[in-house]
Structures are given as structure tokens and as C-alpha cells.
Structure 1
Amino acid sequence: MTATSAQAGLPRRVLLGYAGGSLATGAFGTVPGLLLLPYLTDTLGVAAGVAGLLVLLPKAWDVLVNPVAGRLSDRSGDRRPYLLWGGAALAVLFAAMFAVPAGWYVAVAFLATATAFAFYQVPYVALPAVLTEDHAERTRIMTYRVAVLAVAILASGALAPLVVDLGGGGVAGHRWMGLFVGVLILAGALWAYLGTRGTPVGRATQAEPSLRAQLAVAGANRRFTALLACFVVQSAGIATMLAGVQYFADHVVGQASGATFLFAGFVGPALLVMPLWSRAGARLGKRRALVAASLLFAAGACALVASPALPGAAIYALVAVTGCGYAGQQVFALALLPDHIAADEQRTGRRQAGVFTGLWTAGETFGLALGPGIYALVLQLSGYASSTGGTAAAQDDAARLGVLLGFTVVPAVLVATATALLRSR
């Protein structure tokens, strides 16, 4: 495939093939943030504060691992084999994470799973900078990718709680859920690997030798650092909301399978607005469209504070508005990333996609790790009571208020204020 043919438009097979890899990233990015914290507090009886650390520390480890994965993928040139072997390891380790009902085991298994994810995600995110040189075509790639990502979030996030229930709940239900999500991850990895056959693989480059050197490269690209700072904070806000879905369903909505319906309301409308966001990006520019999407997310999340006084239909409508904002955030942040990578190559004469995507995914992972930690801290401060029965214990008014604020105000503040970082450069 030449640059001319890439500018004329990538084949749909490649677009769908690359996008399919988001089935793996979406499942791993969604399910641990959704179910791992409630699993620890409401099935294994771990205190909320300790559970937050058990979820935070293994993911924070990826901040160090992701740049290593970036350097190795730059040196290899061909990133596709990482999709196959990294994805297979991720699938097996995810299923194993729920095999033993002990907090220490979950933490260790989660650490190993997060490491495998780094060696899948970093090369995966770096691929668009190789697939095409055209900026508009990269937006098209990301539109396809985020559409599949939304389906992955819907399939994994909405169905995973149902699988837990159908599997008998508690430890047994979570084991079945681990197997189910592991299959989704493996399917996504194979889809991306096979679907991108015959595409440009790039060339092996001399990677930066250390994390300090990589930070120096990224620091010289001010637009990249501004975008990364914004994305990290926004990822923390989104992950905070994600961590609170099960708690919000149990203690505010109070509806059977409420977590599944919340996810359907969040992701379903997002699939419909993807073409609208693409048009908005062409009209407003990617950066302005990202700000608009972020503010829409924040407005919807803030409005959900009134949920205890609202009917169920109104709650789900506000969740849908929030989900539409989330969809735009993902499209434009991910579409801006390869543009900044290409601009850096023009400035320096060196293509170091692995350096930038390694730092990007490290930052994203750190933000996603902070979210459950932030929500667990809110639960701990509000006096949330853990249990070992596989069912959430009854909570007092202070704990229910913590559940509500952690799901609404905290994510809204994080996502909205992050746009100031974006607009400062």
C-alpha cells in the first residue's frame, strides 16, 4: 500500500480489521473498572480503601511497563505479532484473575494481566501512524475504532454483570464472567491480527534508550503533552464513573440488573452519534470538538445528582447524554494522537510512534487506575460497609451520598476541568 493509495482511502477490510482490536482493549478497559472493586468489597469482604489500593497499584505498574513496550515495538518495526501473542496472554490471564477468591491473589493476577495488556495495547495504538499519512483518514480510522470500542464496552460491560448473575453470583459467577471476557479479548486480538494482514508494517527505528529520554522527546512536543495531560485526567474521571456503576445501580437506582441497563443507556446512543461527531470534527476542528464533547459529558454527569428524585426513564436519558459526550471524547482524543506523532516526525525526521503511544497508554492506564482508587476513597470516607455474601450490604445515608457523588459530581469535575489543560497550549 503506497502513500497515494492510503490517501485515497484505506480498504474497509483494514478499517474493520484494525477496529476489531478494540474488542480486546474495550473489554479489559471496562470490566475490571466495573466489577473488580465491587467483587473485592461485596464478595471478598475487603475494606473499600484497601480494595482501592489493590485495584490501583497493578494498573499503576503499567505506567512503567508501557514505555518499555513502546521501545520494543519501535525496534521490531512490525507491531502485528504483538497483537497476537500479547492478546492471547491477556485473555488467559484475565480468566485466571478470578480463579482464587483471595484479595492478594487478585492483586498479583491483575498485575500480570495489566503487563500483558501493555504489550498488546501499545503496538495496537501505534498502528494508525503507519497505516496512513492522511490526517482525515486517521479520523476515519478512529471513528471505526471507537464504534467497535463502544460495542465492546456494551458487550463486556453490560453482559459481564449478567454472566455473574447467571453463574450463581459470588465467586462462582465471577469465574464464569472471567472466562466470558477472556473469550471476548481473544476474539478481538485475532480479529485485529488477521484483519490487518498485508498492511504496511513500518520500519524498525532506533528507540530512545530510557524512560527519561522518552519523556524528553515527548516534552519537546507541547501539543502532545497538553493532549496527554487532558486525556489522563479525563480517563480518571471516566474510570471513576465506571467504578461506581454497580454501586449506583444497587443503592440509587435499586433495579434488578441495573448495571446492565445503565451500560446499555450509556453506550447504545453513543453508537448512533458517531457520524455526527465526525461531522462536528470536520466543521469545528478536532480540538474544539473534543472540548465540546467533554463539556457535554460533564453536564450529563452533573445532572445525574438529581437521580434519587428522578424516575428511571429520566436517569437513563441523562446517562445517554453523558455517553454521547464520552463517545466524542474518545474519537477526537485518539484522532489527535497520530496527528501529533506525524507532526513530530516532520519536525525531527524520526518516526517514534512507539515512544508516544507508550507514554500515551501509560498515561491512560494511570488515569484508568486512579478512577477506582478515587471512587474507593469516596466510599471509605463516606463509611461504606463491605460484605462477604456476594450481595451489597445495606448502607446508611452518608454511604449512599458517597455512592451518588462519586458517580456524578467527581467525574464531571475531572472531565470538565481537564479541558483547561487542553486549551492552555
Structure 2
Amino acid sequence: MSALGTRTRLGYSLGSFVTGAFGTVPGLLLLPYLTDTLAVPAAAAGAIVLLPKAWDVVFNPVAGRLSDADLARRGSRTRSLVAGGLVLAVTFAALFAHPGFGSVGADSAYVVAVFFLCATAFAFFQVPFNALPAELTDGYHERTRLTTWRIAVLALAILTSGALAPAITNGIGGVNGYRVMGVFVAVLIVLGTVAVILGIRGVPVSEPRRPTASWRELVATMRRWRSFRLLLGVYFIQALGVATLLAAVSYVARYVLGDAGYQSLLFAGFVGPALLVMPLWDRVGRSGGKLAGFRVATVALSLALAGLVFARALPPAMVFVLAALAGVGYAGIQVFPLALLPDLITEEERRTGEARAGVTAGVWTAAEALGLALGPSLFGLVLSWGGYVSSTDAAASQPESAVTAITVGFSLLPAVLVALGLPLLRREVFSSERKRRDRDDGKAVEA
């Protein structure tokens, strides 16, 4: 079961169009949609972005437990993937439909309610999607390869949704721009859902284990499982940093670089390198180990982001170069934690004899969702502290303090957050990884 075919790798990876679109577009556009179209104050808009995502922290582990139970009964996680993906598509289109109730409070309440539905549907897709690598293959290096394929497609998905969604919004303009963009992203989500189901169809998975007997037992396991908690901590704080950066892109294009059209180019410059450097990170993981590669990628991303603090003084071309260098590190911090996760799950399932993939993926995605939600909220606070002026006019002038706040929120703040993950990459994770790598290499030699 170690080696996977091209159809399976590609089919599974295409599910990243679902995770990439929903993980990217709200972070890019929901905050400016609220502040510059619905005229919601910046601090309140940040809270609106946070609240539905915070629900995932509670619900995703529940979705993981339900997914494990469904796997035990049916031998497949397909039902949850299909339902979650299709419902997400419908609710995402509704999120940016702009109900036009005539008051900021009513329109804001609508956004909160629909975003709650989006977050719930996304949990039913993302949790089993993240659980699958631990079940599709038990090969240490094959999991790295599967993850590099997934992140390469994720980069394409992020480029497609993250670059075209703002282009559609800005090209059409106003409320109609957001509405058309919502439908466009919904179509991408449907296509990604169908692709992943077709890709994994007929592929045998590891023998389903019995679900955890009780929540108390599961909590006790998480408390003992230090390697997972350390890896989860790194992933959360780095997701927070990246989300803060993404929330700032629209504002940087308009108020730092002086051209809203730079938004798509800046975003593409950050994400695009992942399409080119995946083979490099795969080789780094094979030669030096996943944890060493994770550390190198973290340092690279932090340094490049710190350099963007000079964005106001640099020509736009140089800003794009620094964004591309940051993108090389960003690709690495996406690959290595997701490649390490199934190895930790496998070790824990062998130790306990119980299913861990679904519920672990639930906890993992809960932390990711919280980080992605807190990022725009944190940036909203930065805008508020800088005196950002919310308006229905996206071209409204801003005070100098607001432009400075935008620059810092785009560069130094995410750089520090990403770098804070380094102290958590300790030997507990490394020792588990080394044993797993040595065992898998030994099997390859025997073969």
C-alpha cells in the first residue's frame, strides 16, 4: 500500500481547490468587503471574520469523530466529502451575495450567519480530506510525495482563486463584482469536490480501526501526545502569520503601492513559486528529513517577510521579488507539517489500536481555522490602531498612521509570528520522524 498511482495522487490533490479557495478568498476579500462595501468599522469587521471560524475550533473535532465513525461503518469517508463540498459551494456564493437589508447591522448579521454555515460545511470536507493521507499509504517518502503534489495543486488553486477572485471583484466593481466572484469560487469548489471523489475511488485504504471509546480518553491521549501538540502549535502560529499577511494584500496594493491592480500580481508573486519549488522541497525532505526542511523553510519565509517592511520605499518590482522569495519559504511550511502529520497518526494508532486519523485531522483543522480567522481579525485591530477610515468608497484617503500600520501588518508582524514556530520544532518530533524514516528506508533496501 506504500506506492500510489498518478491518478490517485492527482485526484486527491485536486481536492485542494476546495481547501485553497475557502482558505484564501475570505482571508483576502471578506474584510475589505465588510469595511469598504458594507461600511462596517474595521474592529467590528475583524470580529465578524473571526466568530464563524472560531466555531470550527469546537466543531471540527466533532466532525473528525463523526468521520471516524462513518469510516468504521461504511469503510469510506466519501459521504462526508461530497456533502461538505457541495453545501460549501452553495453557502459560499450566498456569503458575498449582499442581501441589501438597508442597515449595517442587518447586513452584518447576514454575513455572520452564512459564514457559520460555510465553516460547518467546510469542516465536513476538510477533516476527512486531511485524514486520507494516513490511510491511502503507509510509506514515509510516499507521504512526502503525495503532500508535495497536494501543495503544488494547492498553490495552483490559491493562484486561481486568490488572483482571479480580486480581479473579478475589481473588474466588475461594487456589489455585482462580489456576487459574480462568489459564484466563480463556488464553481471551483464543486469541481474540486468531484475531482477528489473520482481520484480516490477504488483505492484501498488501511483497515478501519475502532473509534475512540470516549471523549475523556481522547483528551487524555492528546495530553500525552506531545509530538502532535508541538507540531500543531507550529502550524497554528504560522497559519496565523500567513493569514495576517493575506488579509493585508488588498490594503498594501491600494495604499502602499498605490494601485489596486497590484493585488493579484502581489498575491501571485507570493503563491506562484510553490509550483516551481515543490521538487526542491521533496528532495530536501528525502535527504535531510522533513523536520530539517521545515526549519529551513521557516527561516526563509521569516527573513523575506521582514524585508517587506521597506515596501513603501522600494519600487514595486522589488516588492514582487521579495514576495516571491517569501513564497519559496511558504511552500515549505505548507509541505512539511502536512507530511509529518500522517506519520504521527500512524505511530499513535499503532500504540492505541484505535482510530486517530479523523479526530486528529479535526483538531488539526480546528487549529488551522482558528489561525486563519485570527489573522484577518488581528490585522483588523492593526488597522484600527493605525486609525484606518472605513468607508463605502474603496478609494478613500487614509492617514499616514494607517499606511504605516498596513505596512507593519504585512511584513514584520507575520515575520515574527512565523519565526515563533521555530522553538517548538523540538527533538520529540524529530526522534519520531527519524525512526519512521529509517524504518521506511530499510523496507526500500530489502525490496
TM-score bracket for the superposition, by shorter chain length: over 0.9
User: What is aligned with 2:88?
Assistant: 90
Q: Name the amino acid aligned to 2:293.
A: A
Q: What are structure 1's unaligned runs of at least 5 residues?
A: 1-5
Q: What are structure 2's unaligned runs of at least 5 residues?
A: 101-106, 429-447
Secondary structure in structure 1 of the residue aligned to 2:371? helix
User: What is aligned with 1:259?
Assistant: 263
User: What is aligned with 2:244?
Assistant: 240
User: What is aligned with 1:298?
Assistant: 302
Q: Tell me the C-alpha RMSD between the 2 structures.
A: 1.3
TM-score, length basis structure 2: 0.91
Alignment partner of 1:51 is 2:51: no
Contact 2:93 2:179 in 1 (8 A): yes
Displacement of 1:211 in angstroms is: 5.0
Q: How does 1:113-132 map to 2 (within 5 A)?
A: 113-132=118-137
Q: How does 1:300-379 map to 2 (within 5 A)?
A: 300-379=304-383
Q: 2:10 aligns with which of 7, 13, 16?
A: 16
Alignment partner of 1:42 is 2:36: yes
Displacement of 1:270 in angstroms is: 1.9
Contact 2:386 2:404 in 1 (8 A): yes
User: What is aligned with 1:228?
Assistant: 232
**CA offsets 1:157-177 (integer angstroms, 9 cap, x no match):** 00001111232x121110111
**CA offsets 1:25-77 (integer angstroms, 9 cap, x no match):** 00000000000001101111111100000000100100111011100110111
Aligned length: 417
Contact 2:134 2:342 in 1 (8 A): yes
**CA offsets 1:358-407 (integer angstroms, 9 cap, x no match):** 11011111111110111001001111000113x14210110000000001
User: What is aligned with 1:3?
Assistant: none
Contact 1:42 1:393 in 2 (8 A): no
Inter-partner Cα distance in structure 2 for 1:384 and 1:208: 49
User: What is aligned with 1:150?
Assistant: 155
Alignment partner of 1:411 is 2:414: yes
Secondary structure in structure 2 of the residue aligned to 1:354? helix
Inter-partner Cα distance in structure 2 for 1:116 and 1:310: 42
User: What is aligned with 2:432?
Assistant: none
Displacement of 1:88 in angstroms is: 0.3
**CA offsets 1:251-284 (integer angstroms, 9 cap, x no match):** 1111241110011111222211110011111122
Displacement of 1:220 in angstroms is: 1.8
Alignment partner of 1:139 is 2:154: no
Displacement of 1:182 in angstroms is: 0.4
Q: Name the amino acid aligned to 2:304.
A: G
Q: 1:68 aligns with which of 62, 73, 80?
A: 62
Q: Name the amino acid aligned to 1:86.
A: G
User: What is aligned with 2:176?
Assistant: 172
Q: Name the amino acid aligned to 1:266.
A: F
Inter-partner Cα distance in structure 2 for 1:210 and 1:379: 44
Secondary structure in structure 1 of the residue aligned to 2:272? helix
Displacement of 1:214 in angstroms is: 3.0
Inter-partner Cα distance in structure 2 for 1:220 and 1:91: 38
Inter-partner Cα distance in structure 2 for 1:348 and 1:280: 32
Contact 1:95 1:175 in 2 (8 A): yes
TM-score, length basis structure 1: 0.96
Inter-partner Cα distance in structure 2 for 1:228 and 1:236: 12
Displacement of 1:116 in angstroms is: 0.3
Secondary structure in structure 1 of the residue aligned to 2:219? helix
Q: Name the amino acid aligned to 1:316.
A: F
**CA offsets 1:187-211 (integer angstroms, 9 cap, x no match):** 1011001111101245554433665
Q: Which moved more, 1:345-354 or 1:15-24?
A: 345-354
Inter-partner Cα distance in structure 2 for 1:211 and 1:264: 42
Contact 2:89 2:186 in 1 (8 A): yes
Q: How does 1:281-296 map to 2 (within 5 A)?
A: 281-296=285-300
User: What is aligned with 2:77?
Assistant: 79
